[in-house]
Amino acid sequence: MVFSPHTPEDRAMMLQAIGVDRIEQLFEGIPASYRFPELRLPPPVAEADIFRELLELSLRNWSTVATPTFLGAGSYNHYVPAVVHQILWRGEFYTAYTPYQPEVSQGTLQSIYEFQSLVCLLTGMDVANASMYDGATALAEGALLCVSPSRGRTAIVVAGTVHPYYRGVLRTYTRGLPVEVREVPIPDSLRTAPQDLERFVDESTACVVVQYPNFYGRIEDLAALAETAHAVGARFVVSTYPIALGLLRPPGELGADVVTGEGQCLGIPQSFGGPGLGLLAARMELVRHLPGRLIGATVDREGKRGFVMVLQTREQHIRREKATSNICTNQGLMALAATVYLSALGRRGLQKIAELCYHKAHYLAQRIAELPGWSLVGEGAFFNEFVVRCPQDPRAINEFLLQRGIIGGLAVGELVPQQDDLMLLCATELTTKEHIDRLVEALRDLTL
């Protein structure tokens, strides 16, 4: 069966019905310079030859499995257990669509229910949805669900220590809406203090948004920041790095009203930047404002456990343009990956991964701080990322490291103005002592 079921005769009949002779005539309204160019494809070759050529091309790529990598900043090189892909590749999951019909979707519904339950356990919140696109959109949605024009709560206060990309997505989401985004300047300590927020919060503040750990790897004092937000009647929104929650107290125990996060680190490969997985959880009082699917467990007339979609009156297929849920086909496959990953590791496994990340990052920081001309920047505890001040341009340093077969950290100045001499470095459980020693030796050679 060919990909397109339409025969040449079918296409001719359709063109005749709309009054044109050739398909190309449909695109005459588009200037030629903007049309897709003619494809100059090579002649066909044998499948074995194509496979050999693609294999040779793939060998030119660098693999983070074998290459020392210290780049994080929102996408992290964690090990993905084999069981994750084994489950994902099952046909009933791999091609599953949004489960409108519970009687034929029990497996998909149960996997989403388990995902929601795990997110609630991880974040310390009451309810979670069936995932968002990524951490940035989850944060924007989490902030917006706190906005209430009828109560005069239309201002979002976001800490400067939140990821620059996340802040950019938040600005995009609120453009054209009667919402004011107030960005708190980045403190020299790279860690937000309650006094940094005080002149930005008032009776119009809908929520205060922070990151935990923040963009610079520092661990914010959530309890103190939550108190500052709640003192003016605002809600407290926290964007998290889920692996860190294997070691840190969950935001729900520290005053968070909404918790979001990027779930890529939970069994999802980096894949050149996507797809990701947005986590969104909240207090029960906000459940009717949560976007996305919500799955619940119930029993049938025979007392057997079953799974259903709940609160569907919020949904687009019922309320159309008045829907409060704006996301339909969610990142279901990625949510399943996170579910399998967390289930396979369990509480102790996740804690062990977090401990490895923490200790390896601190060993890395200690070794780099010993180098002449290098120094740690920031105050307070950090998890598995930290910032250093470099003796040379971080971009040039990264070019040098690439020549040594090492992927360096993030040149912070590429994302944040006036921070051109800073580099953000990361370590995960896959970072070995040999990797760290190799990096330090390369940096020592660079500064000699």
Is the per-residue pLDDT at 93 higher than 90? no
Residue 58 inside a domain? The answer is no
Tell me: do 270 and 362 sit in the same domain: no
Q: Do residues 342 and 266 touch, judged by C-beta distance below 8 A? A: yes
User: Can you tell me the mean pLDDT for 161-186?
Assistant: 97
Residue 15 inside a domain? The answer is no
Tell me: do 265 and 336 sit in the same domain: yes
Tell me: do 351 and 428 sit in the same domain: yes
Is the per-residue pLDDT at 324 higher than 80? no
Q: What pLDDT score does 266 carry?
A: 97
Is the per-residue pLDDT at 100 higher than 90? no
Neighbouring C-beta atoms of residue 4, cutoff 10 Å: 8
Name which of 413, 418, 373 is nearest 395 in CA terms: 413
pLDDT per position as a tens digit, 126-144: 999 988 999 999 999 999 9
Supply 115's token pair. 């995902």
Q: What pLDDT score does 292 carry?
A: 82
Tell me: do 178 and 327 sit in the same domain: yes
Neighbouring C-beta atoms of residue 19, cutoff 10 Å: 7
Distance in angstroms (rounded) separating the CA atoms of residues 275 and 298: 32
Tell me: do 86 and 141 sit in the same domain: yes
Tell me: do 221 and 274 sit in the same domain: yes
Residue 223 inside a domain? The answer is yes
What CATH number does residue 312 fall under? 3.40.640.10
pLDDT per position as a tens digit, 221-235: 999 999 999 999 999
Count of domains for the chain: 2
Distance in angstroms (rounded) separating the CA atoms of residues 130 and 254: 24
pLDDT per position as a tens digit, 388-442: 999 999 999 999 999 999 999 999 999 999 999 999 999 999 999 999 999 999 9
Tell me: do 309 and 381 sit in the same domain: no
Q: What pLDDT score does 327 carry?
A: 60
Q: What pLDDT score does 372 carry?
A: 94
Supply 291's token pair. 């976007």
Tell me: do 160 and 177 sit in the same domain: yes
Tell me the pLDDT band of 330, cut-offs 50, 70 and 90.
Answer: low
Is the per-residue pLDDT at 116 higher than 60? yes
Is the per-residue pLDDT at 328 higher than 60? no
Domain range spanning residue 370?
346-447
Q: Do residues 387 and 377 touch, judged by C-beta distance below 8 A? A: yes
Residue 69 inside a domain? The answer is no
Q: What pLDDT score does 127 carry?
A: 97
Residue 62 inside a domain? The answer is no
In one-letter notation, the amino acid at residue 143 is A
Q: What pLDDT score does 97 carry?
A: 72
Residue 301 inside a domain? The answer is yes
Tell me: do 149 and 259 sit in the same domain: yes
Is the per-residue pLDDT at 108 higher than 80? yes
Average pLDDT, whole number, for the chain?
93
Tell me the pLDDT band of 329, cut-offs 50, 70 and 90.
Answer: low
Beta bridge partners of 218: 382
Tell me: do 248 and 383 sit in the same domain: no
pLDDT per position as a tens digit, 247-305: 999 999 999 999 999 999 999 999 888 889 999 999 999 998 888 889 999 998 999 99
Tell me the pLDDT band of 448, cut-offs 50, 70 and 90.
Answer: low
Distance in angstroms (rounded) separating the CA atoms of residues 129 and 170: 19
- The last residue of one of the domains, among 306, 341, 376, is 341
Tell me: do 288 and 368 sit in the same domain: no
Tell me: do 381 and 410 sit in the same domain: yes
Residue 110 inside a domain? The answer is yes
- The last residue of one of the domains, among 289, 310, 341, is 341
Distance in angstroms (rounded) separating the CA atoms of residues 111 and 287: 20
pLDDT per position as a tens digit, 292-306: 889 999 998 999 999
Long-range Cβ contact pairs of 6-11 (< 8 A, separation 24 or more) = none
Chain centre distance of CA 347: 21
Chain centre distance of CA 411: 20
